[in-house]
Amino acid sequence: MGRRNKRNKRIRHELAKQQGFRCCYCKRVFGAKGTPLAATIEHRQAKMDGGSGKRENLAAACHHCNHMRGAQMNTARQRRKAKTAAA
């Protein structure tokens, strides 16, 4: 686990750097004064939907956007699931 975290940390930094240390969604600067934002690794295509862990599928998003998006996708998935169950 320690190893994985180390790797994630490096990738996260590289992704953030590529994006000018801005969130890929809201474009706010990570860790800028007055914006206590932490960069998180975002999977453009969710792992659950077959998205890979490769660099081209990754982007750096602020914690807020990453969390929001995750919540939205979970809701959509749950809805789909509910529909299937009802059919």
Residues found near Zn ion in the complex (CB under 5 A):
23, 25-26, 62, 65
> Least distance from C-beta 87 to Zn ion, angstroms?
36
Residue 79 host element (H or E)? helix 63-86
Nearer to Zn ion, 46 or 68 (CB): 68
Nearest-approach distance from CB 64 to Zn ion, in angstroms: 5
CB 71 within 8 A of CB 31: no
How many Å apart are CA 78 and CA 72, to the nearest integer? 10
Type of residue numbered 42: E
CB of 12 to Zn ion, least distance (A): 14
Q: Which is nearer to Zn ion, 21 or 25 (CB)?
A: 25
End-to-end CA distance of the chain: 41
Choice between 8 and 28, CB closer to Zn ion: 28
